[in-house]
Amino acid sequence: MNAFSKIVNQDTFNKQDLITMLNADEEDRSMLFKKSREITDSLIGNKVHLRGLIEYSNVCIKDCLYCGIRKSNKNTQRYKLSDEDVIQCALYALEHNYGSIAIQSGERTDKLFITKITRLLKEIKKLSNGKLGITLSLGEQTLETYKEWFNAGAHRYLLRIETSNRELYAKIHPNNDLHNFDKRLEALQNIRKAGFQLGTGVMIGLPHQTIENLADDLLFLKALDVDMVGMGPYIEHFETPLIETQNVLIALQERLDLTFKMIATLRILMKDINIVAATALQAIDKMGREKAIRYGANILMPNITPGNFRNNYKLYQDKPCTDENATDCNTCIDARMSMIGSQIGYNEWGDSRHFTKSKV
């Protein structure tokens, strides 16, 4: 057994081990992926679970320096789906046996928004007879709001920390109270307190981000004991301030490769959690999400937002499937999954085993 294979076969991992895994060269890389695949096969199986993604609105009160739908981007045409649209999406997911939906939106914290989401959640629960699992990704809210949405029927919540490094966080967000690292940490705790399965994640390949930062991100996820992780490559958007750092970025292919290694290493580190194959991967490589699944991810979030709105939910350049409607996506995912020997867990919630286990 060589030094690298000894590391991936350990039971516990320190920061240096993680750095070694993320720095794997061509030969070690296949060992990393093989180990991660073994763990996925034995603990998760070859099933991939779906979260039909509804991009509810691109109206956002925040101004993250990397994000295309930031408040200050005046070139974005703002939209909000009607109740009817959201219900149609939920019905679509139900009819196509998706098992779960995910509602994502730009951040809003006003009362009108909060009650609207609560009402929609209740309606979706009712129309599906409780059959559809619901994940939310609606940003930082108060504990009270998280509780209200949990009680209305959602049961998983995704809020990316974006980076666990305070200094880097400050470099990619405006310096004000709305973009405060400590508040984000507090929000993560509140999500859990409200009863949700907790999901977070980071962007990979951010300007000035180091391998050491990424190893710390993995340790952060482990220490927080999260149930699910969604992480993907940072992709620059030309209408954002962070585009100024373009010259210090690593190449897109490198960001892609690093994302795959992050996924595989995370699977080895946190064996039974849910890991999303992020859509941003597909913006770099048409087979990006499939590869992510081969390397340890087990959740796919096909976009079921009505086609005419998708072009406006552009967090980054070249976002895939923006011109299609849900049906196009639906026909292709089955074929795409069987191509890589995976199978879709239709009609199942596909909850994080990590969470379910902690409850028994």
Residue 340 vs residues 217, 281, 293: alpha-carbon distances, Å = 29, 16, 8
Taking CB under 6 A as the binding criterion, the range among 7-15, 61-69, 210-218, 251-259 that sits at the site for ligand FES is 61-69
Whether the Cβ atoms of residue 250 and residue 204 lie closer than 8 Å to each other: no
* Chain residues 129-158 in contact with ligand FES, contact rule CB under 6 A: 139
- Write out the two tokens for 269: 């580190």
* Chain residues 286-315 in contact with ligand 5AD, contact rule CB under 6 A: 315
Taking CB under 6 A as the binding criterion, the range among 46-54, 58-66, 143-151, 197-205 that sits at the site for ligand FES is 58-66
Is 237 a binding residue for ligand FES by CB under 6 A? The answer is no
- Cβ of residue 237: shortest distance to ligand FES, in angstroms? 10
Question: Judged by CB under 6 A, which of 51, 70, 108, 156 binds ligand FES?
Answer: 70
Residue 355: contacted member of ligand FES, ligand 5AD, none (CB under 5 to 8 Å, by partner type): none
**Residues 79-108 vs ligand FES: string with x where CB under 6 A?**
---------------------------xx-
Distance CA 79, CA 63 (A): 17
What is the number of helices (H) and of strands (E) in the chain? 15, 11
Is 262 a binding residue for ligand 5AD by CB under 6 A? The answer is no
The nearer residue to ligand FES, 107 or 236, going by C-beta atoms, is: 107
Contacts of 120 (CB under 8 A, 6+ apart): 83, 86, 87, 103
Alpha helices in 131-210 (DSSP H): 143-151, 166-172, 181-193
Distance CA 256, CA 275 (A): 16
Angle separating helix axes 143-151 and 111-127, nearest 10 degrees: 20
By DSSP bridging, strand 47-50 and strand 343-344 are: parallel
The nearer residue to ligand 5AD, 145 or 259, going by C-beta atoms, is: 259
Question: Judged by CB under 6 A, which of 18, 48, 53, 64 binds ligand FES?
Answer: 64
Whether the Cβ atoms of residue 232 and residue 259 lie closer than 8 Å to each other: yes
SS3 assignment, position 222: helix
- Cβ of residue 172: shortest distance to ligand FES, in angstroms? 10
Is 316 a binding residue for ligand 5AD by CB under 6 A? The answer is yes
Scanning the structure block, which residue is given the tokens 């709105």?
A: 309
Residue 336: contacted member of ligand FES, ligand 5AD, none (CB under 5 to 8 Å, by partner type): none
Taking CB under 6 A as the binding criterion, the range among 5-13, 32-40, 111-119, 233-241 that sits at the site for ligand 5AD is 233-241
Identify the H or E element spanning 79.
Answer: none
Point out which residues bind ligand 5AD (CB under 6 A).
66-67, 160, 162, 203, 232, 234-235, 237, 280, 315-316
Point out which residues bind ligand FES (CB under 6 A).
60, 62-64, 67, 69-70, 106-107, 139
